[in-house]
Homo-oligomer: A and B are copies of this chain.
Amino acid sequence: MSEEPLLGRLESGKVHLGKDAVKVLYEQGYFGRPLDDGLELTLVEAAYLLDRSRLRIEYDGHILSFRSFFELASSFEKGFEFRYVVYKDLRERGYYVQPGVPDFRVYPRGGHPGKTPAEFYVFVVSERTPLPIERIVEPLRLSSQMRRRLMLAVVDEESDITYYEVRESNPSGRTESAEPGGQATLLDDRVVLWDPKASERLHKHGFYGKMIGERLQLSLVETAYLLERGMIQLVDRSGVPVPLDELMRRASEIEEDFEMKYRVYRDLRDRKLVVKTGFKFGTHFRVYKSVDAEKRGTHSEYLVHTVRVDHVFHLPVLSRAVRLAHSVRKMMVFAYSDDGVEYVEVRRLKP
């Protein structure tokens, strides 16, 4: 770039340039916002252009070095360093980027401001910042309303960036409901269905439980669902019937979040999905659109993890969950239950 760098003034957290900058910076690269009397750059845009020697910046009677500008900007704006590395990375990948809500708007390849709508809203977060679920749900609602996709850019402690797309999910399957089974006994934290025929039927048609010899071991969520739907009878070790509310009470003693987990289990089963434990993947459930119990090795499509409505995501944990889901070719879905049950899918983006 052999052009003479333009001169800007740092003032009230923005960098202001004259009218000539509109042609050079805005029209050629969609940097800044054109105003009546010139062009206005955010600190992030200005740092990017300063680093490329497209700009000189005057402040308090001095021309700032990159180091001085960077130190100033990072003291003016919380999170400046994070936004800078993300902005720089997206720009260097060839995208036009404008400031927006929550942090940036990114235009699709071949598009630019004034020609096409933005494709993504970008939300920049530090790996270290715990992220309450509503801080994801809010921009997600906004993006959906505006028909934009939501990109989460997570900056780690070494300034590497991982991009995610967050979107609403509406999983559904095509499993037929299983036929009623027989009597089962509640042991400490699991349940055994004794009748070999009933066991086989429930296992084969709904992929409920696990056959241990000729008997079916059911988990507590499976038992609650089958009991609520009238498909088994449950007794304790002395043969006394255990009604649903009693099972719920005992299960909640064993597992703190049982009720929350069961609400999601039931919703997924009611959506004709087959739901099994996701223990091997570190999530609550692995979920199949349909299962042929005869055929081994059917692939589950989703990993579903249930979180409270006031859940706070720790990004290293989120990162691990999504990475693991991808490594086994499944979608990572978080479910939270307010009134109904909501599903949010998080997947890795490679912009």
**What is the distance, in angstroms, from A350's C-beta to the closest C-beta of chain B?**
13
Contact B128 A188 (CB under 8 A): no
Is A321 on the interface with B (CB-CB < 8 A)?
yes
Chain-B contact segment, one of A137-145, A153-161, A290-298, A339-347 = A153-161
Q: For window 245-267 of chain A, which residues contact chain B by CB distance below 8 Å?
A: 254-255
Contact B319 A192 (CB under 8 A): no
Closest to A84 in B: B212
Contact A158 B67 (CB under 8 A): no
Is A70 on the interface with B (CB-CB < 8 A)?
yes
Contact B324 A188 (CB under 8 A): no
Is A320 on the interface with B (CB-CB < 8 A)?
yes
Chain B residues positioned under 8 Å from A160 (CB to CB): 210, 277, 279-280
A67-B185, A74-B188, A128-B189 are contacts. A282–B159 as well, Cβ < 8 Å?
Answer: no
Contact A277 B217 (CB under 8 A): no
Copies of the protein in its oligomer: 2
Main secondary structure of the interface of A (DSSP, over half): mixed
Is A316 on the interface with B (CB-CB < 8 A)?
yes
One digit per residue, 1 when the CB lies within 8 angstroms of any chain B CB and 0 when it does not, for chain A 301-332 equals 00000000000000111011101100110000
Is A119 on the interface with B (CB-CB < 8 A)?
no
Contact A85 B237 (CB under 8 A): no
Contact B255 A128 (CB under 8 A): yes
Contact B189 A126 (CB under 8 A): yes
Is A59 on the interface with B (CB-CB < 8 A)?
no
Question: How far is it, in angstroms, between the C-alpha of A192 and the C-alpha of B70 when the chains are bound?
Answer: 10
Closest to A187 in B: B74
Interface size class of A (residues with CB under 8 A): 35 or more
Is A81 on the interface with B (CB-CB < 8 A)?
yes
Is A194 on the interface with B (CB-CB < 8 A)?
yes
Is A8 on the interface with B (CB-CB < 8 A)?
no
Chain B residues positioned under 8 Å from A328 (CB to CB): 327
Question: How far is it, in angstroms, between the C-alpha of A81 and the C-alpha of B186 when the chains are bound?
Answer: 12
A157-B190, A219-B157, A255-B128 are contacts. A85–B282 as well, Cβ < 8 Å?
Answer: no
Q: What are 27 A-to-B residue pairs whose CB atoms are below 8 Å?
A: A51-B213, A67-B192, A71-B185, A74-B187, A78-B188, A81-B190, A126-B189, A157-B190, A157-B219, A158-B209, A158-B210, A158-B219, A158-B276, A158-B277, A158-B279, A160-B277, A160-B279, A279-B315, A280-B319, A282-B316, A282-B317, A282-B321, A282-B323, A320-B324, A323-B324, A324-B324, A324-B327
5 new A-B contacts, CB < 8 A, other than A71-B237, A279-B319, A280-B323, are A157-B190, A160-B280, A279-B316, A282-B317, A283-B320
Q: Report, nearest first, the 4 A-B pairs whose CB atoms are least far apart.
A: A282-B320, A156-B279, A327-B327, A157-B219
